[in-house]
Amino acid sequence: MPFVAKLYDDDRSAERYPVLLDGTLRNPQAEPQDVVIDDLSASGFRTATARGLAVGDTITLGIFGVGLRTARVQRAGDGHYGCQFVAPLTAEELASALGGLTPPDPIVFPGQGLVQQPGTGVSVEPEWSLSGRMRLLAIGAAAVIPWTVLGLIWLAI
């Protein structure tokens, strides 16, 4: 008894990134729906929030930082849809899409130094605090100076 085998190109070798990215998907009828992308790679993405798609459908996906991309639905099951981009994302587009996942480096102004937080590798601006005497002096000055200015204005009138 002969068996028939279906061979197809399954390009799933691109590195995948687990994400939670918002996007706008347009189904074959061009109806927009908001989706959450939970897996992204240069060659495609996976979403669980799309509705009414079938394997083989050509869709359009809008991702912030990338723009509009055409894709085909390759897999559907368990409420998830796996889609392959018609033209893979470039390294710059993928980095732009993933850019919101890591916080940007803080801006260091001239003359300011950052301190590494132990064990985290995060640089933060050093905190400064006043001693108890300096706090009392600052509070006293903040209370006395406005009254002194008002008294001088009153005498000048």
The owner of tokens 């509070």 is 139
pTM of the model: 0.55
Token digits of residue 18 = 């687990």
Query: Residue 84: its pLDDT value, please?
Result: 93
Distance CA 126, CA 110 (A): 15
Please state whether 146 falls in left (phi above 0), alpha (psi between -120 and 50) or beta. Answer: alpha
pLDDT (average), residues 139-153: 92
Q: Does the pLDDT of residue 79 top 80, yes or no?
A: yes
What are the C-alpha distances in Å from 78 to residues 22, 47, 49, 75? 20, 11, 11, 10
Query: Residue 78: its pLDDT value, please?
Result: 83
pLDDT digits (tens, 9 = 90+) for 102-121: 545 555 555 555 566 666 66
pLDDT digits (tens, 9 = 90+) for 11-57: 556 788 888 888 999 988 888 999 999 889 889 999 987 788 889 99
Question: Rounded to 10 degrees, what is the CA torsion of 33, 34, 36, 39?
Answer: 50
When comparing pLDDT for 50 and 135, which is higher? 135
Determine which of 71-75, 88-92, 101-105, 127-131 has the lowest per-residue pLDDT on average: 101-105
